[in-house]
């Protein structure tokens, strides 16, 4: 084989390798990435001070946070932070809704770590978790139906909420 033919054969192999690499699924290249902005949500079932005709006081659901998730195959890893909540968080969970923006079932427990340095203590911190998802849960995540919810003492049915989106 001449050097010119060898060079053409090498270039063809490099091009094929690059094409195969580009065709690999995302999880083989580090995983699909999702992000959520955690913002105050009107808690379900909590009424304003004067009855159902009035909104829940904003002071019950103050705070902000962010979270990210990586899906590699069936494994999803979640990390996040929150701060300036109106009351101490009690639990953090991953939920699966009927559609993006529509809450339904809280299905996975996240580890919640409260900061003692926050004012008042425990109103800031981190969340984390790693889970093996079912095919239906993976489909829900990819369709924007999965969310993160942090409940608190003053809002036991949802304080901060954010949808995991690409």
DSSP letter string over 42-92?
A: PPTT--BTTBTTSPPPGGGG--EEEEEEEEETTEEEEEEEEE--SS-EEEE
User: Looking at residue 141, what is its pLDDT?
Assistant: 98
Please state the domain extents for the chain.
1-25, 31-163
Greatest CA separation for the chain:
89
pLDDT at 10: 43
Q: What DSSP designation does 133 have? A: P
What are the backbone dihedrals phi and psi of residue 117, each rounded to the nearest 5 degrees, phi first? Answer: -85, -10
Look at residue 56 in the predicted model and tell me its pLDDT. 53
- Alpha-carbon distance 120 to 63, whole Å? 12
Query: For the chain, which residues score pLDDT lower than 70?
Result: 1-30, 42-59
Is the distance from CB of 65 to CB of 82 less than 8 angstroms?
yes
Q: What's the pLDDT tens digit per position in 31-68?
A: 899 999 999 986 555 444 444 455 556 567 789 999 99
DSSP H helix total and E strand total for the chain: 2, 8
H or E, element range at 36: strand 32-40
Task: Give CATH for domain 31-163.
Answer: 2.60.40
Q: Residue 157: its pLDDT value, please? A: 82
| Two structure tokens written together for 116 | 């003692």
0.85 surpassed by pTM = no
What pLDDT sits at residue 155? 82
């Amino acid at each position: 084989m001449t050097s010119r033919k060898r060079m053409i054969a090498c270039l063809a192999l490099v091009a094929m390798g690059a094409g195969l690499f580009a065709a690999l699924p995302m999880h083989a290249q580090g995983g699909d990435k999702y992000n959520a902005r955690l913002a105050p949500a009107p808690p379900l079932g909590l009424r304003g001070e004067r009855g159902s005709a009035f909104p829940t006081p904003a002071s019950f659901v103050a705070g902000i946070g962010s979270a990210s998730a990586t899906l590699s195959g069936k494994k999803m890893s979640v990390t996040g932070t929150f701060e300036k909540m109106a009351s101490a968080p009690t639990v953090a969970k991953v939920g699966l809704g009927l559609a993006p923006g529509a809450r339904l079932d809280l299905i996975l427990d996240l580890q919640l770590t409260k900061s003692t340095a926050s004012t008042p203590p425990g109103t800031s911190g981190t969340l984390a978790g790693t889970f093996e998802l079912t095919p239906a849960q993976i489909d829900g995540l990819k369709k924007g139906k999965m969310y993160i919810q942090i409940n608190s003492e003053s809002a036991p049915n949802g304080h901060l909420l954010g949808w995991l989106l690409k």
